[in-house]
Copies of this chain bind each other. A is one copy, B any other.
Amino acid sequence: MQEGISETLKDTLAEVTDLSRAAALLEWDQETYMPPGGVQSRAEQISTLLRLSHVRFTSEEVGRLLDQLEDDVAKLPFDSDEASLVRVTRRDYDEATKLPPDLISEIARAGSMAQPVWQKARREEDFSLFAPYLEKNVELNRRIADAIGYDDRPYDALINRSEPGMTTAQLEAIFAELKRAIVPLAADIARHADSVDDRVLYRGFDPDLQLAYALGLVKRLGYDLERGRQDLSTHPFSTAFGPGDVRITTRVSRDFFNECLFGSIHESGHAMYNQGMGQNIDRTPLWGGASPGVHESQSRFWENLVGRSLPFWRHFYPSLVATFPEPLRGVDEEAFYRAVNRSYPSLIRVEADEVTYNMHVLLRFELENEMLEGTLKVKDLPEAWNARFKSYLGLNVPNDREGALQDIHWSYVSFGIFPGYTIGNLISAQLMEKIRTEIPDLEAQIGKGQFAALLGWLRKNVHRHGRKFTPNELLERVTGKPLTAAPWIAYVQQKFGALYGLQAARH
C-alpha cells in the first residue's frame, strides 16, 4: 500500500469521524442536560457538523484515493485492517454519493414537514391527515431505491443501507419461518396466560435505588465506567464518542420495575459492543457497529438471553431483595424470573415481550414492502395493519395511534429500518448457540455472577471487528452459517414452553 496516500485518506476519515462524534455528543447533551432554550442553536450546530462531515467524506478526493488504494489492497487478506478499511469505506462512499444532492434535500424537507403532521395525526387518531405525507415518503423511498440500484426488489436497496448484504428474499424466508413458529406459540401462551403473574413488578420501587442497582449491575456485566457513564433521558439510548467514551442513558419508573433495569442492561449491551472495538480501527469507518441489527443483537443478548435467564436471577435476586425488601416480600427468585418473562400480545412494538416482538417487525416489513411495490395503497394501510395484527397476535387495534401511526420511523423517510430489530434477536440466539459449545459451563458462570469469559468471547468474535464484516459475513465466520431463525425459535419454544407449561410436542 502506498503509505502516503493511505495516510491522506486516514487523515480525512479521522476528521470525518471527529465531526460525527462531536455531533453525537451534541445529540447526547440535547437528550440529557441541554436547557430548553438551546434547541435552535443546537439544531444549527448539529446540522453544520453533519453537513461538513458529509461534504468532506463525499469529496472527489476520497473517491480518487479509494480508486488508487483498491489496487494496492487487492492482494491483502480480506480481514486485514487495510483491505477492510478500503472495502467498507468504498461501500459507504458509494452509498453516500449515489443519492443526488437534490434528493437528499427533498428527503430532509419531507421529513421535517411530515413529523409534525404525524404527531398531529396521532393526537387526533386520524390517519388520513398523515396519509399524503406517507405517500410522499413512499415515493421518495422508491426514488432512493432507484438511485442506489438493486437487482431484484426495490426493498433490497433500502435494507442494504442499514444491513449490508441482506436481501429481501433472505428476510422473507426468515420471517415466514418465524411466522410459522411464533403465531401458534403466542396463541398457545395466550391460552395459558394464568401461568405467569407479573404483578410484583408494579409494586413500587424507589427510583434512586433502582438507578444505583442498575448501574452496579451493568458494571458487573462488564460495562466499563472508566470509559462510560449513565445519565437519565426520556428515551434510553447508547452513544459512543470514541473507544474511551461510550455512554448509556436510562429512565426509571417507580411503578414498573422492568424499565430501568432491563433498559440499562439493554443499553449496556450496546455500549459494551462499542467498548470492545479495536483501537486499531479507531477514527476510521471500520469503528462502529457492523449494522443496527448486529448492534441490537448485543443489547438483546444481555437483556434477554442473559438478563432474563434463571441462572442470572439465581445470582442477583438475593441482592435485589436486600435492596427492595418491601416490594419483593414473599416473592422467590423463580417467581421473579417468571414475572420478568411474562409474554402476552400487546399493541405497541417497543413494549412487546420476547415472543411477540418479532411479529410486530414482520408486520412492518410486509407493509413497507407492499407499499413500496405498490401492491398496498397508503390509504389502505390502517385496514391492512389491523387485519394482519388480528391474524398474527389476535388483537383488535382500537385506533390508528396504537396502530399504523405508532412509530416515528415512517414520518422521516426511512424504510428498511425495522428488520434490524428482528435480525438482532435472531443473531443473539445464533451466537448463544455457538457460545454454549465453546463455554460449556456458561450457565454455571452466570449463576455465579461471572461474565468475563462471556464478554471475552463476544469481544474476540464480534466486538473488536467493528464494521469489518457484514452481518452475514460475521455470522458465517463465527457460527459457520448466515443469519438463521432456527436457534432463536428453539430458544423461545424451549424457554416459554417451560414457563407456560406448554405441550412438549411444541418444544
Binding site for B on A (CB under 8 A): 14-15, 18-19, 21-23, 25-26, 29, 33-42, 44-45, 48-49, 52, 224-229, 231, 241-245, 247, 282-283
Contacts and interface: CB of A to CB of B under 8 A. Distances in A.
A49 B19 CA distance: 7
Given A14-B44, A29-B29, A41-B21, A244 B49 contact: no
Given A22-B48, A25-B45, A41-B241, 8 more contacts: A15-B52, A22-B22, A22-B45, A33-B229, A37-B226, A37-B228, A37-B245, A42-B245
Contact of A242 (B33, B42, B244, B282): B42
22 contacts: A14-B44, A15-B48, A15-B52, A18-B44, A19-B49, A19-B52, A22-B26, A25-B25, A25-B29, A33-B229, A35-B226, A35-B245, A37-B224, A37-B226, A37-B227, A37-B228, A37-B245, A38-B244, A40-B242, A41-B242, A42-B245, A44-B242
B244 A41 contact: yes
Contacts of A33: 33, 229, 231
A19 B48 CA distance: 8
A229 B35 contact: yes
Nearest to A19: B48
Give the residue among A39, A41, A225, A244 with the most B Cβ atoms within 10 A: A41
| Copies of this chain assembled into the complex | 2
A39 B241 CA distance: 11
A18 B21 CA distance: 15
Contacts of A48: 14-15, 18-19, 22
Contact of A243 (B15, B36, B41, B245): B41
A22 B50 CA distance: 12
Contact of A241 (B38, B224, B241, B243): B38
A386 to B, nearest CB: 42
Contacts of A228: 35, 37
Contacts of A36: 226-227, 244
A245 B41 contact: yes
A57 to B, nearest CB: 13
Nearest to A241: B41
Nearest to A56: B52
Give the residue among A34, A243, A244 with the most B Cβ atoms within 10 A: A244
Contacts of A241: 38, 41-42, 45
A54 to B, nearest CB: 13
B38 A245 contact: yes
Nearest to A23: B22
Contacts of A283: 44
Given A37-B244, A40-B244, A41-B242, A49 B227 contact: no
